[in-house]
Chains A and B, each alone.
Chain A
Amino acid sequence: MALLEVKKLKVYYQTGRGVNQAVDGISFELDQGSSIGLVGESGCGKSTTVKGIVRVMPTNAFIPEGEVYFNGSDILKSAEKEMRQLRWRDISIVPQAAMDSLNPVYTVRNQFLEVMQLKGDLNKKQALVRAKELFALVGLNSDLLNYYPHQFSGGMKQRAVIALALALNPRLIITDEPVTALDVIVQHQILNELKELRQQLGLAMVMITHDISVVAQTCDQIAVMYAGKIVEKGKGKQVLKNPLHPYTMGLKNCFPNLNQPNKELIAIAGSPPDLIDPPPGCRFYERCPFAMTQCQLEEPGLEELESGHLSACFLREDIDQYRNKAKEVETWLQVII
């Protein structure tokens, strides 16, 4: 049984102009100890997805449909009180800009003790021992516990926040852009740290990021999101090496690669559709160089084309040929917005 199973989850926002279908029917599974990266551009719904999963949402958001099974029970149906128990103890979240989530007027030690005494039912002594353990786990000197957050560097803060998230031995950790604001060297160290911690503690992880190079190194599975939907899903290697969906192919073209100095960057023309009134067919239709008439009328479902590799696109045969075409600038210039 999967640890986390998200089934056709929808998260909508009520706005002044109408209902924004920010997340529109997302499904994925995550086994104990494995990891998935949700990749996409801003506004694709990746952050909203996890906010929906743990139900920490802005007041104008609601979940019209969907199921989220954690450890076999549907947590969307559980009461807020039970959810509060679940968060941090079983599912831990490292939010975006997590570095700012430490309170500047308390020492880091105080904040650790607070969490562990309140949520973990430890006494002060036990909590302190645990705090030191956690600091060692993420590679921080335990003397640093007595410092204030502003005395920490960005990387140290990020490590401390990760340690705090691990405080109660969760089984699932959700990280939202965990390394975006960090320098490359620290970024690399934190990603490695996360990888090792996961193996050591048997943690499952959902990582949200816009950067495919970050997930390439850290996640077993990748789900590419576009305009509120998963358009492609599979093992990391499958998705990045042999993308099936034109959006993934295009996204790959957008990233410079240090090892390929001659690679030309190619942009995807246009911008994602308005999710208050999304088009009826494929949401990538307007920007897709391989769009067909069918795509405008009918929405392609997520289908398994190779073992464990799914794509929501009507291109289901001869994908190699499209993949090669997608590497050429001319292909993407055909798209007229």
Chain B
Amino acid sequence: MATSDYIIELHQAKKFFPIRPKLFRRSGSDDYLKAVNGVSFKLKQGESLGLAGESGCGKTTTGKILLKLCAMTGGSYFFKGRDITTLTAKEEIKSFRKQAQLIFQNPYDALNPRFTIYRSLLEPLIIHNLGTQQERRDMIRAVMERVNLKPAETFFEKYPHQMSGGQLQRVVLARALIVDPAFIVADEPVSMLDVSVRAGVLNLMKEITEKMDLTTVYISHDLSLIQYMCDYTAIMYLGKIVELGPSRELIAAPIHPYTKALISAVPIPDPDVANEAVNISNNVPSPINLPPGCIFQDRCPVVTQLCRQEEPVFSEVAAGHRVACHQAET
């Protein structure tokens, strides 16, 4: 088996969706929605990456690719050094499923309404054939205590509608943890929760992923949340990563004009800080027919002739900090 330092190696991942039914598709035309258009990054064990961007930028589809929930149109994806795209044997897919887990955006919908909490947590153990009857009960109790649902027994026979959003999100987290995964994708994990319980869930996730040395990818539109949770931040725009770097560095000193605009627009809960946002136009081009050159050219305040002709290379400007902008290269 191939070995690698990296848990996740995503290279030029692409996902295109045909936008017309096949019957009416004109031959030779390029009618694809390029949801993900060449995304690359690597993560070592225990590292966390936040994918940020506006709606429709491809961050959720990238998350699905990472979990093999949708097939890639192009590119390669290695998980622990193994090529995931070519996995076909049922057992191998199952083994990947055990190691890569998902935390959902909507905890109210992520649990089967007709299962008790105990049953929902038992499912992954049945599917992966883990533990004996008694061991399973102990495993479920342990994982529930780990996510601060104590005493665990009081929740066993409850149904999802009898619990609060914060508790449900803890159950969802417990379900992901119970199979002892190596990698977790969290898609807007707290956006459906009330503000006063968000912090609790976030702190818990942070503590657990650090303790278990899990590799994590957070998907969120909220940069302040990503800064709080992640070592690295990737800013996505129209299916591409335009800037990727250590979270604090990227947020304190953004390089790409889009990152700058995004960061300046984030509201600050402090009335003394005047929010002077970098004003950029609102015209997001359609991800179906993109012009040649830089994808950000139409909205960029510092656009040059070069940007309209040539696509900037995603290149390193500092250790671990990469940007796709012509202005950044010099």
Q: Is A183 an interface residue (CB 8 A)?
A: yes
Query: What B residues does A259 contact at CB under 8 A?
Result: 268, 270, 273
Please report the C-alpha to C-alpha distance between residue A251 and residue B196 in the assembled complex, in whole angstroms. 6
Partner of A213, one of B247, B251, B269: B269
Q: Are B195 and A41 in contact (CB under 8 A)?
A: yes
Q: Is A75 an interface residue (CB 8 A)?
A: no
Query: What B residues does A261 contact at CB under 8 A?
Result: 227-228, 247-248, 251-252
Q: Mark A238-251, 1 if CB is under 8 A from B, else 0.
A: 00110000000011
Q: When A211-B267, A216-B269 are in contact, do A255 and B55 touch as well, CB less than 8 Å? A: no
Among the stretches B41-49, B87-95, B198-206, B312-320, the one at the interface with A is: B198-206
Q: Is B54 an interface residue (CB 8 A)?
A: yes
Please report the C-alpha to C-alpha distance between residue A242 and residue B277 in the assembled complex, in whole angstroms. 26
Q: Is B266 an interface residue (CB 8 A)?
A: yes
Q: Are A267 and B198 in contact (CB under 8 A)?
A: yes
Q: In chain B between 113 and 150, which residues have their CB closer than 8 angstroms to a CB of chain A?
A: none
Q: Is B100 an interface residue (CB 8 A)?
A: no
Query: What A residues does B55 contact at CB under 8 A?
Result: 154, 183
Query: What A residues does B262 contact at CB under 8 A?
Result: 184-185
A-side interface residues, number (CB < 8 Å)? 43
Query: What B residues does A154 contact at CB under 8 A?
Result: 55
Q: Is A186 an interface residue (CB 8 A)?
A: yes
Q: Is B164 an interface residue (CB 8 A)?
A: yes
Minimal beta-carbon separation of A48 from chain B (angstroms): 16
Please report the C-alpha to C-alpha distance between residue A155 and residue B54 in the assembled complex, in whole angstroms. 12
Q: Is A86 an interface residue (CB 8 A)?
A: no
Please report the C-alpha to C-alpha distance between residue A185 and residue B225 in the assembled complex, in whole angstroms. 16
Q: Is A46 an interface residue (CB 8 A)?
A: no
Please report the C-alpha to C-alpha distance between residue A186 and residue B281 in the assembled complex, in whole angstroms. 9
Partner of A258, one of B227, B261, B272: B227
Q: Is B197 an interface residue (CB 8 A)?
A: yes
Q: Is B224 an interface residue (CB 8 A)?
A: yes
Q: Is B28 an interface residue (CB 8 A)?
A: no
Q: In chain B between 23 and 67, which residues have their CB closer than 8 angstroms to a CB of chain A?
A: 54-55
Please report the C-alpha to C-alpha distance between residue A155 and residue B282 in the assembled complex, in whole angstroms. 9
Q: Is A200 an interface residue (CB 8 A)?
A: no
Q: Are A267 and B270 in contact (CB under 8 A)?
A: no
Please report the C-alpha to C-alpha distance between residue A187 and residue B225 in the assembled complex, in whole angstroms. 17
Minimal beta-carbon separation of B146 from chain A (angstroms): 17
Q: Is A237 an interface residue (CB 8 A)?
A: yes
Q: Are A268 and B196 in contact (CB under 8 A)?
A: yes
Q: Are A184 and B221 in contact (CB under 8 A)?
A: yes
Q: Is A309 an interface residue (CB 8 A)?
A: no
Q: Is A256 an interface residue (CB 8 A)?
A: yes
Query: What B residues does A266 contact at CB under 8 A?
Result: 199
Q: Are B54 and A184 in contact (CB under 8 A)?
A: yes
Q: Are A212 and B196 in contact (CB under 8 A)?
A: no
B-side interface residues, number (CB < 8 Å)? 44
Please report the C-alpha to C-alpha distance between residue A206 and residue B11 in the assembled complex, in whole angstroms. 49
Q: Is B309 an interface residue (CB 8 A)?
A: no
Q: Is A73 an interface residue (CB 8 A)?
A: no
Q: In chain A between 197 and 223, which residues have their CB closer than 8 angstroms to a CB of chain B?
A: 210-214, 216-217
Minimal beta-carbon separation of A47 from chain B (angstroms): 14
Q: When A188-B267, A188-B275, A188-B277 are in contact, do A258 and B195 touch as well, CB less than 8 Å? A: no
Q: Are B271 and A240 in contact (CB under 8 A)?
A: yes
Q: Work out how many contacts link A and B, with CB atoms closer than 8 A.
A: 123
- Of A236, A250, A267, A271, the most chain B CB neighbours within 10 A belong to A267
Query: What A residues does B261 contact at CB under 8 A?
Result: 185
Q: Mark A144-169, 1 if CB is under 8 A from B, else 0.
A: 00000000011110000000000000
Query: What B residues does A21 contact at CB under 8 A?
Result: none
Q: Is B212 an interface residue (CB 8 A)?
A: no
Please report the C-alpha to C-alpha distance between residue A187 and residue B263 in the assembled complex, in whole angstroms. 12
- Of B54, B195, B268, the most chain A CB neighbours within 10 A belong to B195
Q: Are B54 and A267 in contact (CB under 8 A)?
A: no
Minimal beta-carbon separation of B210 from chain A (angstroms): 14
Q: When A185-B261, A267-B200 are in contact, do A258 and B194 touch as well, CB less than 8 Å? A: no
Q: Mark B214-228, 1 if CB is under 8 A from A, else 0.
A: 000000011111011
Q: Is A252 an interface residue (CB 8 A)?
A: yes
Query: What B residues does A254 contact at CB under 8 A?
Result: 195-196, 198-199
Q: Is B69 an interface residue (CB 8 A)?
A: no
CB closest residue in chain B, given A179? B267
Partner of A265, one of B164, B199, B270, B280: B199
Q: Are B270 and A257 in contact (CB under 8 A)?
A: yes
Q: When A241-B271, A265-B228 are in contact, do A258 and B266 touch as well, CB less than 8 Å? A: yes
Minimal beta-carbon separation of B304 from chain A (angstroms): 22
Please report the C-alpha to C-alpha distance between residue A251 and residue B284 in the assembled complex, in whole angstroms. 35
Query: What A residues does B253 contact at CB under 8 A?
Result: none
Please report the C-alpha to C-alpha distance between residue A103 and residue B53 in the assembled complex, in whole angstroms. 29
Query: What A residues does B223 contact at CB under 8 A?
Result: 184, 258
Q: Is A49 an interface residue (CB 8 A)?
A: no
Partner of B195, one of A153, A192, A210, A240: A210
Minimal beta-carbon separation of B16 from chain A (angstroms): 22
Query: What A residues does B275 contact at CB under 8 A?
Result: 188, 217
Q: Are A213 and B282 in contact (CB under 8 A)?
A: no
Query: What A residues does B202 contact at CB under 8 A?
Result: 265
Query: What A residues does B264 contact at CB under 8 A?
Result: 188
9 sample A-B contacts, Cβ–Cβ < 8 Å, listed by A number: A156-B282, A184-B54, A188-B264, A211-B195, A217-B267, A258-B227, A261-B247, A267-B199, A267-B203
Q: Residues of A at under 8 Å CB distance from B?
A: 41-42, 153-156, 183-189, 191-192, 210-214, 216-217, 236-237, 240-241, 250-259, 261, 265-269, 271
Counting from the closest, the 8 A-B pairs by CB-CB distance are A267-B200, A213-B267, A265-B199, A256-B224, A188-B265, A267-B199, A183-B54, A213-B269
Q: Residues of B at under 8 Å CB distance from A?
A: 54-55, 164, 166, 194-203, 221-225, 227-228, 247-248, 251-252, 261-273, 275, 277, 279-280, 282, 284
